[in-house]
Amino acid sequence: MKKTWQLEDMPSLKGKTVIVTGGNSGLGYESVKVLAKKNARVILACRSLSRGNEAKSKIMKDQPQTSIEVMALDLSSLDSVRKFADAYKAKHNKLDILLNNAGIMNVPYGKTTDGFEQQIGVNHLGHFALTGLLLDTLKSTPKSRVVVISSLLHKKGHIDFDSFSYNKKRTYDPQVAYAQSKLANLLFAKQLNHLIQKNKLDMTVVSAHPGGAKTNLGRYQDKGSSFNLVKKIIYPLLIQTADQGAMPGLRAATDESVTSGMYIGPSGFMESSGHPYIAKSAPAANDLQTAEKLWKKSESLTGIQYNF
């Protein structure tokens, strides 16, 4: 694999169809811009159609020949996920790349429509359901690819299966819940890759993380004096722009030298910035027993059974 992969190394995506969840802002928006510029037909999936159309208009102002379709997808609602999948399959008979990018971070206590703690619900269970509902389309598309975006903070994560539905607000720690959801992302990708290999499907599963990227994802972070000190001193050294943060996901989605099961992240100091390359995950992200248990728990909670 090339260590200094850049956008110039990305192949043409003409004829390919790509879904980007959370494509209206942050890393998702930057990913949509690049994928569309590379001639892919991009489905910009997001909760708000108005914000999605604003993002589309902004991109097409500079790239009028690109193909972007906005579709409603609320990952905090399994009903919305099902409606999105049905609507997509009614319009499209192929799916080359599913970029599971959308996420929420350190949000106040709350539950999804289906009663899940909202960070595990949106970041993991929503994407688990979406991927399962689109699996037949992915299977029927030669050399299709699923990309799961995680975070460096997965290294602080621990899967507490009893915490997926918090019944008492006092038990909720937003940072713990976020780290758990990002670890779940990697365990999901690991088990999905295992099952795809076992069933000899013509698919690739790759996970990625953006390192430190300046987006609105951290808007709920405590903004005290220590945060301001870090922002002034550490951010310039470690934090990338959103377009740079999108690079690991874009490489995971498009680089033909990437193989199934890989984990891509920035190659610089502490994996916070730099060219996208092979990253190191925590030992907990490679626990096959926990990955299998999480899979079964996710099937049970979402009611989605994968048809391999």
Q: Catalytic site residues?
A: 178
Dihedral sign for Cα 142, 97, 248, 156, please: negative
Half-sphere exposure of 286 (CA within 13 A, CB side): 7
- Give, as one character, the DSSP assignment of residue 212: S
Which residues in 256-280 are b (16+ Cβ under 10 Å) and which e?
eebebbbbbbbbbeebbbbbbbebe
What is the per-residue DSSP string for 73-138?
--TT-HHHHHHHHHHHHHH-S--SEEEE-----SPPS-B-TTS-BHHHIIIIIIHHHHHHHTHHHH
Helix axes 49-62 and 26-37, enclosed angle (nearest 10): 40
Dihedral sign for Cα 76, 187, 26, 213, please: positive
DSSP lists the bridge partners of residue 18 as 42, 97
Chain position carrying tokens 């110039």: 8
Dihedral sign for Cα 184, 193, 32, 77, please: negative
Chain position carrying tokens 């005290």: 224
Contacts of 221-228 with CB under 8 Å at 24 or more apart are: 221/105, 221/106
Burial (Cβ within 10 Å: 0-12, 13-18, ≥19) of residue 153? middle
